[in-house]
Amino acid sequence: MAQPMRIRAKLKGDEVEAKILVQHPMETGLRKNVDGEKIPAHFIKTLVVKYEDKVVLESVLGIAVSKDPFISFSFKGGAKDGKLSVTWTDNLGETRTDTVTVD
């Protein structure tokens, strides 16, 4: 079940600094459990951040990114109280979107 993210978006000068903490197992599909069986792959494929209607970050994560990923970046053109939304989609088709306003 897709768990909520923790998102912080702060206006610093003319840039918005976005910090996104994601809850996701990011299972590679290569690990084995104590019984020696492979744990099925379950990882985020894409993560997209939009400010209002504009895409400000498009990323492809994949199995190289570890559990509970943390993503931090800055972008120009944002303002206080603007809407920042983050959407991820994983290899099992699960998806999650969380939205915050810029501080």
Partner 1 sequence: MKHLKQLLFFMIALQWTVQVFAESAPVEQGDIYKELIEDGNPAEFREMRGKEVWQQKAGPNNVSLKQCDLGKGPGVIKGVYVELPKYFSDAKKVMDLEQRLIYCKTTIQGLTYEQAISSPLSIAGHASDVEALVSYITAASKGMKMAVKLDHPLEKEAYELGRKLFFYRAGSHDFGCVTCHSNDDKRIRLQSLANLLNPNDAQATYTTWPAYRLSQGEVWSMQHRIIDCLRQQRFPEVTYASDSITALTMFMAKNAEGGIYNAPAIKR
CA distance 16 to 101: 11
Q: What are phi and psi of 88, to 5 degrees?
A: -120, 155
Q: Which residue's entry shows tokens 């209607």?
A: 53
Name the minimum Å distance from CB 44 to partner 1. Answer: 14
**Is the distance from CB of 98 to CB of 86 less than 8 angstroms?**
yes
Name the minimum Å distance from CB 43 to partner 1. Answer: 13
32-71: contacts with partner 1 (CB under 8 A): 39, 66-68, 70
List the one residue from 10, 11, 23, 82 that touches partner 1 (CB under 8 A): 23
List the one residue from 3, 95, 97, 101 that touches partner 1 (CB under 8 A): 3
By C-alpha distance, which of 5, 6, 18, 23 is closest to 82? 18
Q: Which residues of this chain interact with partner 1, rule CB under 8 A?
A: 3, 6, 19, 21, 23, 25, 27, 39, 66-68, 70, 72
